[in-house]
């Protein structure tokens, strides 16, 4: 059986704007009114990792979907280091003029998306944070030790960040370097298992306090989703922290925790038994991840439709 992410009636376009790689999936125009817009912000795995979700949301729910890629593309930062938030703010603000807009962010991208919405007060109707963070983290470096820099900047200044405990990664970095010297080693993944380094960072209470994302400034309802067996970082604890900071707000927030599931919560029908390295890095069992993917998709689409209205 051939499965397609995108229905034939959905138009796909791709442009570069202010340093952002913008991939849009657009259903046919309505005879009256405008379709709601869902902005998707990828994690460090990049644009291609979230385009299936964008295509499905456009095809099955009738939303116009826009993926904003901020790193790894032509003319963009190579890794998540000192990435400016202003282009994201301007893009979402422009989409929100006269239209209902929601933001769905994944993994490391939640740090930028939530920070931008908190700093700029962009008028969105709903926010979904999948495998999220509640603080700004130290910059990421693919396969190596983190550089001494922030992931994000705003107003020309680096945002305060929580340091990742790079010393806990030394054995993995050394092992990857040795592996690359062996025949076929360059074809192996350079991904590191990072949870212990991030968990240690969260014990630095002074750094955490300075780097907190002020999500209570975001007036839209928030849905936070995490796997209880996330091996990349302590997503469950950070998802709970996001919702806890907003308990005094008069909004209908949702916290969805999947026990036994890992970091990569993709749309349903994506095999969870493929990609052994990704499974090791992300955590969770194939069965728990498959169930989490389905439940997350169903809960997320209900949440978006409740706050944006039907797409068609």
pLDDT band at 99 (very low <50, low <70, confident <90, very high): very high
Question: With bands split at pLDDT 50, 70 and 90, how would you rate the model's confidence at 178?
Answer: very low
Q: Would residue 218 be called left, alpha or beta, if left means φ above 0 and alpha means ψ between -120 and 50 degrees? A: beta
CATH fourth-level superfamily of 11-162+205-308: Alpha/Beta hydrolase fold, catalytic domain (3.40.50.1820)
Distance of CA 222 to the CA centre of its chain: 14
Predicted confidence at residue 30, as pLDDT, reads: 85
* Of residues 154, 166, 163, the one with CA closest to residue 82: 154
Q: Tokens 């074809």 appear where?
A: 187
Q: What is the pLDDT of residue 274?
A: 55
pLDDT tens by residue, 270-289: 877 655 445 557 999 999 99
pLDDT at 312 over 80: no
End-to-end CA distance of the chain: 27
All structural domains of the chain with their residue ranges: 11-162+205-308
Predicted confidence at residue 172, as pLDDT, reads: 46
Residue 128 has phi, psi (to 5 degrees) of -120, 130
Is residue 171 predicted with pLDDT exceeding 90?
Answer: no
Cα-based torsion angle of the residue sequence 267, 270, 274, 279 in order, rounded to the nearest 10 degrees = 10
pLDDT of 120 strictly over 50: yes
Over residues 98-119, mean pLDDT: 97
Confidence of residue 190 (pLDDT cuts 50, 70, 90): very low
Question: Which pTM was predicted?
Answer: 0.89
Position with higher pLDDT, 117 vs 72: 117
Among 38, 43, 120, which residue's Cα sits nearest to residue 83?
A: 43
For residue 45, what pLDDT is reported?
87
pLDDT for 85:
97
Q: Is the pLDDT of residue 72 over 90?
A: no
Lowest mean pLDDT across 29-38, 42-51, 58-67, 128-137: 29-38
Percent of the chain whose pLDDT exceeds 70: 85
Average pLDDT of the chain is 88
């Amino acid at each position: 059986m051939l499965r397609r992410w995108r229905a034939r009636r959905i138009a796909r376009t791709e442009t570069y704007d202010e340093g952002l790689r913008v991939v849009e999936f657009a259903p046919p125009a309505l005879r009256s009114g405008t379709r709601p817009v869902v902005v998707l912000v990828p994690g460090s795995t990049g644009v291609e990792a979230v385009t299936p979700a964008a295509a499905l949301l456009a095809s099955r729910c009738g939303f116009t979907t826009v993926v904003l890629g901020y790193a790894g593309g032509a003319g963009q930062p190579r890794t998540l280091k000192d990435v400016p938030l202003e282009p994201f703010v301007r893009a979402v603000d422009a989409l929100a003029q006269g239209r209902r807009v929601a933001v769905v962010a994944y993994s490391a991208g939640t740090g930028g998306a939530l920070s931008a919405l908190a700093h700029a007060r962009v008028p969105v109707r709903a926010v979904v944070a999948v495998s999220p963070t509640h603080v700004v983290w130290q910059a990421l470096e693919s396969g190596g030790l983190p550089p001494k820099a922030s992931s994000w900047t705003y107003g020309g200044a680096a945002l305060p960040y929580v340091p990742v405990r790079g010393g806990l990664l030394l054995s993995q970095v050394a092992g990857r370097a040795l592996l690359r010297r062996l025949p076929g080693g360059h074809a192996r993944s350079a991904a590191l298992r990072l949870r212990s380094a991030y968990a240690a960072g969260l014990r630095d209470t002074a750094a955490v306090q300075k780097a907190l994302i002020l999500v209570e400034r975001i007036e839209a309802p928030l849905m936070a989703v995490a796997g209880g067996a996330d091996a990349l970082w302590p997503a469950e604890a950070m998802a709970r922290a996001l919702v806890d900071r907003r308990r005094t707000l008069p909004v209908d927030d949702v916290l969805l925790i999947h026990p036994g599931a890992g970091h990569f919560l993709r749309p349903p029908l994506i095999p969870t038994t493929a990609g052994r390295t990704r499974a090791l890095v992300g955590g969770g069992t194939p069965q728990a991840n498959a169930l989490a993917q389905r439940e997350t998709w169903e809960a997320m689409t209900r949440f978006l439709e409740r706050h944006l209205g039907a797409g068609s």
